[in-house]
Structure 1
Amino acid sequence: MEWLVPLEEYIKAGVHVGMRIKTKDMKKFIAKIKEDGLAIIDINKTDERLRLATKMLSKYSPNEILVVGRRETARRPIEMLKKYTGILTYPGRYPPGLLTNVSLKTFKDVEIVFITDPILDKNALLDAYKTGKIIISLVDTNNTLQYIDLAIPANNKGAKSLALIYYIITREYLRSKGIIPKKAELDVPYDYFMEQTIEEEI
């Protein structure tokens, strides 16, 4: 099957770069471990699961999806996703009750929650689980798979990696909805999704 983006693009963006910390849950997603102990994520599995995730997301309307990401490198990618798709997003610190307290003005009644990092976004992850939402999450080698319905193994810290991942999700969602042609790209390159005001974090 054709890659969502060429392998070279994944490599250039560092999507495959894991961490020295490796959980048991993530062993099946690790292609190799370098001499310095750094784990390398299996890009085949990243691409395969990104494809599954975008197909799943395409079954829902924008107001049925919530994407969260507290990490600073995730903020612009998430904001760009919202700009192009209209999908509900919450970059930055997840506020208590967003998914659970119906009396809040900010309450989000969604069907599916997309998590950038299960550790930093643990409050959103727990609220999504408690309320029975479908949970999709990016997972690095230091993460576990607890509460996650569909895990996408990837570098969920680097600015370039997150920009490319959210670019792909945005493009595939628009293609699936028929908003852009099946083979069309967005009108900006993926690095336009990248947070420019901070140093690259891998």
Structure 2
Amino acid sequence: VLKYYIEPQLVLVSDPRYDAQAIKEAAIARIPVIAFCSTDNMLSNIDLAVPINNRGKSSLPYAFWYLAKRVLMERGLLTPEKEAEILPESFMPTSVT
């Protein structure tokens, strides 16, 4: 029935307040949780809290940009020459008119 189901190895949430159900289910399944947390977030069931203003319009896109950049660097897929190709602006929301 669940032929292509893959159990997650990690849960990343941008705001523990809004992602409380995902955090709760990850805790039950014993899956580690990384959360972008502001000063008003509870840290229950969070394994690694990344302090950030998670309500700012541009702070979360920059956080995801930096995270993606570091993952690519750790995997050896991002060289200093290619680094300039990935701009933080590509993670910014575009205004829809």
Q: One-letter code of the match for 2:73?
A: R
Matches of 2:4 and 2:44 in 1, distance apart? 26
Q: Which secondary structure does the structure 1 equivalent of 2:85 belong to?
A: coil
State the partner residue of 1:40.
none
Tell me the CA shift for residue 189 of structure 1: 1.7
- Point out the structure with the larger helix share: 1
5+ residue gaps, structure 2, are none
Matches of 2:2 and 2:17 in 1, distance apart? 25
State the partner residue of 2:17.
119
State the partner residue of 2:60.
162
Normalised by the length of structure 2, the TM-score is 0.85
State the partner residue of 2:36.
138
Normalised by the length of structure 1, the TM-score is 0.43
- Structure 1 segments of 4 or more deviating over 6 A? none
Tell me the CA shift for residue 188 of structure 1: 3.3
Do 1:160 and 1:191's aligned partners in 2 also have CA atoms closer than 8 Å?
A: no
* Structure 1 residues 165 and 175: alpha-carbon distance in aligned structure 2, compared to 1, 3 A threshold: same
Matches of 1:175 and 1:144 in 2, distance apart? 31
Match of 2:74 among 160, 165, 176: 176
Q: One-letter code of the match for 1:121?
A: D
| More relative contact order, 1 or 2 (CA 8 Å, 6+ apart) | 1
Tell me the CA shift for residue 191 of structure 1: 1.8
* Structure 1 residues 112 and 183: alpha-carbon distance in aligned structure 2, compared to 1, 3 A threshold: farther
Taking every aligned residue pair, what percent have the same amino acid on both sides? 28
Matches of 1:196 and 1:121 in 2, distance apart? 24
Matches of 2:3 and 2:14 in 1, distance apart? 24
Do 1:175 and 1:182's aligned partners in 2 also have CA atoms closer than 8 Å?
A: no
Q: Please provide the CA RMSD for this pair.
A: 2.2
